[in-house]
Amino acid sequence: MIIIPAIDLINGQCVRLTKGDYNRKTIYNENPLEVAQNFEAAGITHLHLVDLDGAKSKAIVNWKVLHTIASKTNLIIDFGGGIKSKKDLQIAFDNGASQVTCGSIAAKNPDLVLSWINEFGPDKIILGADCKAGKIATNGWLDQTNIEVIDFIKEYKNRGIEYVISTDIEKDGMLNGPSFSLYEKIQTACPQLNIIASGGITTIEDIKTLQSMKIYGAIIGKSIYEGKIKLEELVALC
C-alpha cells in the first residue's frame, strides 16, 4: 500500500480543517515546501496536495506552491482543488502534478471529466468521491448533493476510471479512525478499482487494517502533523 501524506493549502500555507470546515482551521506550517521536503527526507515517495482556496473558487489558486514543490522535490504529486476546466487541468500538469483529482467537476459535468480520461489517460485522472451520510459533497465540501457515493463511483468505474480517492467527511480530521465500511462497500461494488483511503486515519493499526483489505493507498494528514503517527513508522510498514 502506498502512503500518501497530505498538504492542504490556504493562502499558500499548510493547514488542516476539521470535517472540512473552513472555520475550523489549524495552520501547521507557513512553508509547504519545507513540509514536503521533510516527507521526502523520511523516505516518502508520494504527496497529496490540495488547493482548498481553489476548491471553493472557480479555478486553481495555489499553483505556484505546486510548481515549487514539484521542482524542488522528487515526490509524485496528485493535485486537487479548483479543477473546473481543461485549462485548470493543464495548469496542474504543467506545474508538476503527476495526477489530478477531479471531484466537484466530476459530479457536475461527468461528460467533461470522461473526455479528460480519454484524452489524458485513466492513469492521470483520479476520481474524487468525498461524501457525507453516503452522499457526494462538492465545492470544498461546502455543498451537499443527492448523489449516492457508491453509484457515483460505480458509474465512473464502468466508464474507465482506475483510481478513486474517497473521504467520509464525518471522519476527516477527527482522529478516530477511517470509514472502513465505506471502502468495503466500494470494493464490493467495484472490484479491481484502485481505492485511496482518506480521512480519519489515526494509528498504525488503522494502516495495517487498510493493508489487510488490500487498499491501494492511504492519505494521511492530521495524524502526522499531530504526532499520532511517525513518518518512519509509515515508511517501515509500507
Q: How far apart are the first and last CA of the chain?
A: 6
What amino acid occupies position 135?
K
Cell 521526502: give the residue. 40
Q: Find residue 4's DSSP bridge partners.
A: 219
Q: Is 175 helix (H, G, I), strand (E, B) or coil?
A: coil
Q: Which one of the listed residues 53, 78, 88, 130 is annotated catalytic?
A: 130
CA distance 75 to 87: 23
Q: In what order do the strands lie in the sheet with 135-138?
A: 131-132, 135-138, 143-148
CA distance 19 to 233: 26
8 carries an active-site annotation: yes
130 carries an active-site annotation: yes
Output Rg (C-alpha) for the chain, integer angstroms: 16
C-alpha angle 145-10-18 in degrees, rounded to nearest 5: 55
**Catalytic residue ranges:** 8, 130
